[in-house]
Amino acid sequence: MKEVLKRGMISFTISAFCGLLINLLIDVIVNLNGVKGFVSMSYLYVKIFPTEAMAAYVNILIYGMIGFVFAAMTFIYDMERLGFLFQSILYFVVTGGFSVAVTVFLWQLHHYPSAFIGTLTGYLMTHIIIFIVEYRTLRKDVKEINTLYIADAEKN
């Protein structure tokens, strides 16, 4: 549990910092190119808060929370009794539920159905790619272990 929290807090810090940096870069670049007063947050999201600064602070906090959830939920892959497919589905459901709720809130996607569907599709495709890469890596590792086991058994 301690390791899970540590992993989550490290990811929280990295995600919050990267979110801040990316938003800052976008804002600076767009404003330097002539769009004065541009803020890289949905105007509908900003309207929820009393000030733009408060919206930005909550935005950074949410970036950190996303990183925390994604990192902390990797403990699922440490549960040896669960199969890889079940682990992957569970990870997808938990992180997907959190991410979808957050992106709907941040980007106010319920006002933009096509953007909502695009976000869901992108999230699903990302997890399919991750699953395929991890599955291939896992198969390679098992094959190497079996090869070493057979070679060791033949020596004895």
pTM above 0.75, yes or no: no
Residue type, 127: H
User: Residue 109: its pLDDT value, please?
Assistant: 80
Tokens of 138: 């896992």
For residue 29, what pLDDT is reported?
92
Query: Which pLDDT score, from 0 to 100, does residue 43 have?
Result: 85
- Give domain limits for the chain: 2-112
Can you give the pLDDT at residue 122?
85
Q: Which amino acid is at 103?
A: T
In tens digits, the chain (156 residues) has pLDDT values of 888 899 899 999 999 999 899 989 988 999 889 888 888 888 888 899 999 999 999 999 999 999 999 899 888 888 888 888 899 889 889 988 888 888 888 778 888 888 888 888 888 898 899 889 989 998 998 899 888 888 888 886
Report the pLDDT value the prediction gives residue 54, as an integer from 0 to 100.
Answer: 93
Measured distance CA(8)–CA(14) in Å, rounded: 10
In angstroms, the Cα distances linking 54 to 17, 28, 46, 51, 120 are 17, 19, 8, 5, 27
